[in-house]
Structure 1
Amino acid sequence: MARKRLTNGQKLQIVRDCEQRLANNESLRSIARSYGLQGKQIRNWRDKQLLLANTKSTKKSTSRGAKGRLQEYEDEIMTWAFYQRDAGVPLAYKHLVIKAGQVWPEFRNLSESQQYHTVRRLCQRNKFAIRRITHTSQTDPNEMVLEAQNWLAIMRPIVSAPDVQQKFILNMDQTPMFLSMCPHSSLNLQGERTVNGRRTTDSGSRFTVTCTVSANGDKLKPFLIFKGERTGRIATREFPTNPYREQVALCCQKKAWQDGVNMEDYVDKILVPYLQEKANGVPCLLLMDDFSAHWTDDVKDRLEEIGITPYKIPPGCTYLVQPLDVGICKPFKDQVRSKWWQWMMDQGADRSTFVSASRELGTKWVSESWEAITEVTIRNAWRKTGFSYSPEEE
């Protein structure tokens, strides 16, 4: 008779069926024959019925297997691993291999394959699996909260001084934009292993938008940085004819990044016109992150010339204390993406190829989306950071 290897669940079901048929006066031999088994196999399973019921039904054996090599060190290794993860430290099997070699030196004598599979089984027993990281942080988030609170404790007396006006407390930051915003996901039939998606030919058409807001809800003109030479064709021929050049400031950089040179352009084109309303002796504060382009000697000298005192937001704290990050950039970018979708639909839903938008269209979307950000949204973002600006405080 051919050998069969059944799962524990199948064995248990045969035993239960056998009990019913024996009660109906069927012989064990005939029952076994109907399943293509030997009678002694069923008798053995009947004797181990309780063990079968307490073992994983998909397994084909009640044996727990050989004792794990790391069993007596398991608690120490896994306690260390969970502690590392609580601290936000990424782990790989290799890290646990190294730790196992530290707590049990003989483990190092095993082959690389044996080490890997031993650690992998250790992780499986403890339901410790490889997962995609959803947030990257250089430091403990709790430490960042404390550092942000300490920074706010220093800044509140400065921004609350009698001679400081909310209109001249500014926050600036850059955010990337794309002339093509093709999504990375799509509606598709469930179960399909491949989900195709067309992209535009230049789906990486990136530009940078520098945004600035004041604590009283003012929006300064957006500063757009497109890819190109500072004195090239785009800057000298295209920008002067852009119909939205009055609503935004335009410049070029080789990689469409903010750098020290166009940071000086930002100061001259955005901050200087805004400060024309400032009376002599009224201080102006500019909050910026620690991006190196913001803090070159030339930029600091230029800010000092026009009477602006810059303050550096601690690294890793911008999501807590920078108003643009807290409540302005996301609704702004959502507005731009909405306009891109509408433009795509206007091209026709049955298009077989997609093209990127022009720089003029990108400029239009930024201008209209920035205009749609309300004073209430800006003031709420400042309030949420902990500066606590409200109408009653004016």
Structure 2
Amino acid sequence: MKYPPICIFKGKQLPRGEVIPKGVICWFQDNGWMTSVLMKNYIDFLFRIRMSENLSKESAMIVYDSFRGHLEESVKIKFKQHNFHLAVIPAGLTSVCQPLDVSINKPFKDNLRKEWHEWMSRGGSGVTAAGNLKRAKISDVCGWVKRSWDAVSDQIIFNSFKKCSISNLLNGSEDDMVYEEIDKLIAEYEKENLEEFDDDIEIVSN
């Protein structure tokens, strides 16, 4: 199940007259950052979802990078209280061990870039008196994020966890998925080098 995306904006509250689309959550923070306070809010949010699915008594694992907001003691305690086990990816290994970096971020960002281009092609939000482009409304950005996230297939997310060896079957039958991307890169490299080798061969006929 894909949970709804959460957008964190700089500020205190949603500007008057704007309405956030259904299926996306909008939070505000003074600097627009994820903090330990928001992390604890997020844990509560996840726990409510798991309660609605009758899963609150079952253990769950959360995989995060080593950002300090994830690792503060109060956050760790909150995870434990809500039956979450926190797995921290060591610094420098997110490109290998974090599903978002491995397979999910690229299609999501591609979708988001397409949303922005389409918005710009329609004239965006117009220009200021000085002729500068007006920034997009928060509600518009939330709409872009929601549609971009919806367009990322469940299968991509499923496979990304397999490639990072997080949710693979313990009998070893899915271990090859960890190496599929590496094998693909090796095959492409060998093909490129073979083509270069072929180009260097001089064919001589008698």
TM-score (normalised: structure 2): 0.72
Q: Which among 109, 133, 136 is matched to residue 333 of structure 1?
A: 109
Partner of 1:381: 160
Q: Secondary structure at the match of 1:252?
A: strand
Of residues 10, 19, 27 in structure 2, which corresponds to 1:242?
19
Candidates 40, 43, 48, aligned match of 1:273:
48
SS in 2 for 1:225: strand
Aligned to 1:322: 98
The amino acid across from 2:34 in the alignment is: Q
Report if aligned partners of 2:47, 2:56 keep a CA contact under 8 Å in 1: no
Other-structure match for 1:345 = 121
Q: Is 1:225 matched up with 2:8? A: yes
Q: 1:14-29 residue pairs with structure 2 within 5 A?
A: none
1:313 offset after TM fit, Å? 0.9
Cα shift at 1:279: 3.8
Equivalent positions of 1:148-297 (< 5 A) are 218-229=1-12, 234-235=13-14, 238=16, 242-244=19-21, 246-269=22-45, 271-276=46-51, 277-279=53-55, 281-297=57-73
Tell me by how many angstroms 1:282 deviates: 2.3
Q: Which residue of 1 aligns with 2:77?
A: 301
In the superposition, relative to structure 1, how do residues 280 and 383 fare at CA in structure 2: closer, same or farther (>3 Å)?
A: closer
- Deviation of the 1:226 alpha carbon: 0.5
Which residue type is aligned with residue 226 of structure 1?
A: F
Structure number with greater CO (CA < 8 Å, separation at least 6) is: 2
2:32 aligned counterpart, secondary structure: coil
Give the conservation status (yes or no) of the 8 Å contact 1:223–1:249.
Answer: yes
Unaligned runs of 5+ in 1: 1-217
Identity level (%)? 31
Indicate the residue corresponding to 1:358 in structure 2.
137
CA drift at 1:289: 0.7
Shift of residue 281, structure 1, vs aligned partner: 4.6
State the one-letter code of the partner of 1:347.
Answer: G
Between the aligned partners of 2:57 and 2:20, the Cα distance in structure 1 is: 37
Q: Is the 8 A contact 2:8 2:27 kept in 1?
A: yes
Corresponding residue for residue 171 of structure 1: none
Aligned residue for 1:285, secondary structure, equals strand
> 1:315 and 1:238 mapped to 2: Cα distance?
41
DSSP 3-state at the match of 2:7:
strand
Q: What is the Cα deviation at residue 280 of structure 1? A: 6.0
User: Could you say if the C-alpha distance between residues 374 and 301 of structure 1 is closer, same or farther in structure 2, counting changes exceeding 3 Å?
Assistant: same
Secondary structure class of the residue paired with 1:363: helix
Please report the RMSD computed on the Cα atoms of aligned residues, expressed in angstroms.
Answer: 2.4
Deviation readout 1:99-145 (Å, 9 max, x if unpaired): xxxxxxxxxxxxxxxxxxxxxxxxxxxxxxxxxxxxxxxxxxxxxxx
Distance 1:248 1:327 in 2: 21
The 8 Å contact of residues 260 and 299 in structure 1, kept in 2 or not, is answered as yes
Shift of 1:278: 4.0
Separation in 1 of the partners of 2:64 and 2:81? 18
